[in-house]
Amino acid sequence: MGALPPSSHALITAPLRGADEIRDNTAFEAILWALSRPGEIRHLPEPGPRTILLALVDRECRVHADDAVIGELAAWTGATLTPLAGADHVFLSLEPGADIARLNTLKVGSALYPDDGATVVVEARLGRAEGDGQRLSLSGPGIETTREIAVAGLPAGFFALRDRLCRYPLGFDLFIVDGSDVIGLPRSTLIEVL
């Protein structure tokens, strides 16, 4: 009974997917998988955080972007550009030596509404070779036991700051983008810096 008889409405053809729909659906599929299995690398349809923004952000969102091009794109979607403290979607450009004290104002939601915590997208390098970047050990939902990853190019103390802000179920959800590779680190993930 695997194959079903064709529908009696076979004459009505399904709508075709436009380029936007294909891009948004592919990007969402990648970040949904990445967030449900923290640390697993998935692939975005294009390099950079652009496709994540287009899949998620519209006029209902408040966006902060360090990068002017991403900010313009966010404004084009109709989103309101705000300072970091008020943004629900945050696109960061962090130099390795940058001062990250401003990130203390990231929205982490409330105990009543944990969903108010920000979605943060940051570009960094996902270490693949031995000794490349800061090694992290992840555990929590989506990981059977533990998973080790390496991330390079983020300021020192970034994960300590995340640890301080993410008081589960409060916190922010992080996507790290490296070219077209992406990993997700939801607030539920415990990160041990090795």
Nearer to another protein, 115 or 130 (CB): 115
Distance of closest approach, residue 28 Cβ to another protein, in angstroms: 5
Say whether residue 104 binds another protein (CB under 8 A): no
Say whether residue 39 binds another protein (CB under 8 A): no
45 vs 36: CA distance, rounded Å: 19
Span 119-178, contacts to another protein by CB under 8 A: 119, 140-144, 168-169, 171, 173
- Asked if 43 and 180 count as a contact pair (C-beta separation under 8 A), the reply is yes
Nearer to another protein, 58 or 72 (CB): 58
Question: What is the C-alpha R_g of the chain?
Answer: 18
130 vs 14: CA distance, rounded Å: 48
DSSP for 156-182, written as a single string: TTHHHHHHHH--TTS--EEEEEETTEE
Distance of closest approach, residue 165 Cβ to another protein, in angstroms: 14
Among 20, 72, 95, 192, binds another protein (CB under 8 A): 20
**How many CB atoms are located within 10 Å of the residue 31 CB?**
24
Q: Which residue has the tokens 């997208």?
A: 121
- For residue 11, give Cα distances in angstroms to 18, 21, 60: 21, 23, 37
Assigned token pair, 43: 């692939």
Nearer to another protein, 3 or 129 (CB): 3
Say whether residue 19 binds another protein (CB under 8 A): no
CA 122 to chain centre: 8
Span 111-130, contacts to another protein by CB under 8 A: 111-112, 114-115, 117, 119
Site of interaction with another protein (CB under 8 A): 1-4, 7, 9, 12-18, 20-22, 24-25, 28-29, 31-32, 35-37, 55-61, 110-112, 114-115, 117, 119, 140-144, 168-169, 171, 173, 186-188
